[in-house]
Structure 1
């Protein structure tokens, strides 16, 4: 992929000259804009500031690798353009935004995410992560698994976004890398098992409806983890579940996902499961009467 066939004018028109009204996301890498291309396709354009990134040859090589990652549970990278010192990454557009938005920002969003839908989101995200970890050649670390990087299409199917973007950042750029892997409530270890830990946090968000850290009272990065583990230790695990999804008839399924989440957030990376095991466990929920072990 040597750039794309869109002109600078096309990009400007599709984003209304990067008008703020078209911003649909932001993060450690830059702003994301909703855009409509000349052929009518809706896409998301991530605008990266050029000062922190690798030389052009290395950057293009990394983009080539990321563009080859094709899976139904990934947000597909469709193209890339360079404009001045900025790089623009063009992705498929996800109509329903992020999981973070539905769980934590949209009024009554949690009530629209019933248990079956949350389970399907977890299953889809796990499949996407397993593909990155074990089916891609070369394997790809995500490095920033969190609910805001799990995007939902019109059917609320999960798609992982921003996978592998840390590979584009120069190693000495501590500003972006700290923002990237130092997100509150996430493991900062950039390993496959670090991704699994972060995925466990997302499972806890799905189960509890709570943020990893209460930003009004950020006592520490393990706030949600500590609370859940303490409640589990006190034999009060049933009290952690989001009232929007809790039902006595579903308690076994909820407990099964909670067990999976606890395996993921084990202090020892060796005790955390491989992503292919996560897929098996999550797919078994609702079809098996055995707890993960």
Structure 2
């Protein structure tokens, strides 16, 4: 039983070669057809996935898209992966500059040479072998946010060059440290002159304050309107406005800045910035816009007018927040109480009121009602020219 051949039905293997009508023909055609259909469906699915990823990339978060551009920068990647010193401008005083020169010029980053501090590092004064002074920001530690700040700073200041922006001369990595080399600003920060100096003879006069306001607005207008792609700073404040030997203003600290292409109006953001300068809408929408920078600049204008910090916990509760206090005084028609006594005079009365009006427009709670920074600059031009 179950035998084939002579004692039973013919074995399948004994079917003559010329006879192709057996069941193998059906199996072969079905298999080929199934494989063909499967391959076709697989190719279609693969193409669909590729197209979907391309669409997502085009419509994705502008921060991610811009970070890809930053990471593709050859020179920046070179500096981040090695200890090579990258100089942006081949000035005569730094042609042969080495990392060893930087270490020697800061006495190995001695505390005595610290001239400032930021969220992720300290700033040191350095005397180069040529005798030229520079400022070196040293970002230290193994932190993703620090890496991002370093890249943002280099990307922004490699693209943006204006007389009212602090010049970045070069950068490099040294061990776990990331070093940024800037031109030295002889007179430090606006915050120092408004809030730290106590001697009466060194107080900023109104003419100097108005000049600083105009210079800072010029630098910010360049970032928002001229530089390509445009840049939103995200951390405008008096300590990030540096003053050279002639008290010309230079915007500094681009670690939180973001690039904006022409078709973008904002970038998504964490709640970053400094208390007192952060626009009210940031906490609600988590988006950073040009109008957010304008709000922060309006707070700086109030500092210049009042000589007061944006937030002062030492004052009475009703006076702690500068923006709220100024608006209260203005509503009560007590503008004369707003101005710093050291700059108030009838001779400057019209200019003071003009700048106060500009500042109040900048700090409007509704970002849609705030002027663009180029409009602010035009208004300051009018104040300087003796107009309203």
TM-score range, shorter-chain basis?
0.7 to 0.9
Q: Which has the higher helix share?
A: 2
Partner SS, residue 140 of structure 1: strand
User: Please, which of 105, 108, 124 is the counterpart of residue 215 of structure 2?
Assistant: 124
Task: Tell me the TM-score normalized by structure 2.
Answer: 0.67
Q: Deviations over 1:60-84 (max 9, x none)?
A: 6862442221111010111101011
User: Please, which of 84, 92, 99 is the counterpart of residue 190 of structure 2?
Assistant: 99
Deviation at 1:111, TM superposition (A): 5.2
1:242 has 2:318 as partner? no
Tell me the residue number matched to 2:364.
266
Q: Is contact 1:44-1:90 (8 Å) kept?
A: yes
- Bigger relative contact order, structure 1 or 2 (CA pairs below 8 A, ≥6 apart): 1
Deviation at 1:56, TM superposition (A): 7.8
Go from structure 1 to structure 2 and tell me whether the alpha carbon gap of 1:64 and 1:288 turns closer, same or farther (over 3 Å shift): same
Q: State how far apart, in whole Å, the 2-side matches of 1:274 and 1:31 are.
A: 33
Task: Tell me the TM-score normalized by structure 1.
Answer: 0.87
Give 1 or 2 for the bigger CA radius of gyration.
Answer: 2
Partner SS, residue 263 of structure 1: helix
Q: Is contact 1:66-1:164 (8 Å) kept?
A: no
In the TM superposition, 1:206-221 aligns within 5 A as 206-216=304-314
1:83 has 2:83 as partner? no
User: Please, which of 94, 118, 135 is the counterpart of residue 44 of structure 1?
Assistant: 135
Q: State how far apart, in whole Å, the 1-side matches of 2:201 and 2:235 are.
A: 23
Structure 1 residue runs of 5 or longer lacking an equivalent are 169-176
Partner SS, residue 116 of structure 2: strand
Deviation at 1:278, TM superposition (A): 1.0
Q: State how far apart, in whole Å, the 1-side matches of 2:327 and 2:149 are.
A: 43
In the TM superposition, 1:1-293 aligns within 5 A as 1=75, 2=79, 3-4=85-86, 6-53=97-144, 63-108=154-199, 112-167=203-258, 180-181=272-273, 183-188=274-279, 189=282, 190-216=288-314, 223-290=321-388
